[in-house]
């Protein structure tokens, strides 16, 4: 996968603004939640929504800064953005379809993190043509981040009893845990496949490079 030309400066500035805003919202929600949930950053960012939103916001900020300098975003960072979009799609679907309205944050925060932010990410991925087609052989890169998150959560659930979501409670049994974990990973692969497919959409025509014929000397 090769680097692509940077997007318009307006798009870069918007990515920077969205990433900064989401980071601010996460910090605000953490602060107002201290009286109710305590001051543990580990617990706060143990929620997949919060951690994924923070990482995605960071990726947007970095890509925005790079693009504003007129440079192309490196391929590894583009892959990281693709993984972030895939994960945020799952965040939006799970919250809005499977467990609507269960968050403890203010309604406007939940709407921003679970609906508005994922939609903006998908629209950006589709309509801003600054990404190369992602190779299918690298679809697996969608999995390491959520697998590590799941591993940490399951270890915590087995040791100190804290889990961010009820379906990960150890007392539900190994079969239930295995089913939910497998379902989550399959959903992430499906979401990743969608993001990979969308990377092949071209919203503007690329100007082909002019091929120069060798100069002929003599008749």
Q: What is the pLDDT of residues 190-214, one digit of tens each?
A: 999 999 999 998 865 443 433 444 5
Query: pLDDT at position 136, please?
Result: 96
Whether 132 is in a domain gets the answer yes
Query: pLDDT at position 98, please?
Result: 74
Of 71-80, 97-106, 175-184, the range with the lowest mean pLDDT is: 97-106
The residue-averaged pLDDT of 162-170 equals 89
Domain count, the chain: 1
Whether 217 is in a domain gets the answer no
pLDDT tens, residue by residue, 53-83: 999 999 999 999 999 998 888 999 999 999 9
The residue-averaged pLDDT of 141-169 equals 93
Enter the DSSP assignment of 208: P
Query: pLDDT at position 207, please?
Result: 37
Whether 211 is in a domain gets the answer no
Whether 77 is in a domain gets the answer yes
Query: pLDDT at position 216, please?
Result: 46
Whether 48 is in a domain gets the answer yes
Return contacts of 23-27, CB within 8 angstroms, 24+ apart: 23/54, 23/57, 23/58, 23/61, 25/109, 25/112, 25/113, 26/50, 26/53, 26/54, 26/57, 26/113
Whether 214 is in a domain gets the answer no
pTM: 0.87
Query: pLDDT at position 100, please?
Result: 65
Of 92-96, 121-125, 204-208, the range with the lowest mean pLDDT is: 204-208
Query: pLDDT at position 27, please?
Result: 97
Whether 109 is in a domain gets the answer yes
Whether 84 is in a domain gets the answer yes
Domain that holds residue 103: 9-198
Coil/strand/helix, residue 197: helix
Query: pLDDT at position 129, please?
Result: 84
Helix 48-68 and helix 9-37: axis angle, to 10°? 150
Average pLDDT of the chain, as a whole number: 88
């Amino acid at each position: 996968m090769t680097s692509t030309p940077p997007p318009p400066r307006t798009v870069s500035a918007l990515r920077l603004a969205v990433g900064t805003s989401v980071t601010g919202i996460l910090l605000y929600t953490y602060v107002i939640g201290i009286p109710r949930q305590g001051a543990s950053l580990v617990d706060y960012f143990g929620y997949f929504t919060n951690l994924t939103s923070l990482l995605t916001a960071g990726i947007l900020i970095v890509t925005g800064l790079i693009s504003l300098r007129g440079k192309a975003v490196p391929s590894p960072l583009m892959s990281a953005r693709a993984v972030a979009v895939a994960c945020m799609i799952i965040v939006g679907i799970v919250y809005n379809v499977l467990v609507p309205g269960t968050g403890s944050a203010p309604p406007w925060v939940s709407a921003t993190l679970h609906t508005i932010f994922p939609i903006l990410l998908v629209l950006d991925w589709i309509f801003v043509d600054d990404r190369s087609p992602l190779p299918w052989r690298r679809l697996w890169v969608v999995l390491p981040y959520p697998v590590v998150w799941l591993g940490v959560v399951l270890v915590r659930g087995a040791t100190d009893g804290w889990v961010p979501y009820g379906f990960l409670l150890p007392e539900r049994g190994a079969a239930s845990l295995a089913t939910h974990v497998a379902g989550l990973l399959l959903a992430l692969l499906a979401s990743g496949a969608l993001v990979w497919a969308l990377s092949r959409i071209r919203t503007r025509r690329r100007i082909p490079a002019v091929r120069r014929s060798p100069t002929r000397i003599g008749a």
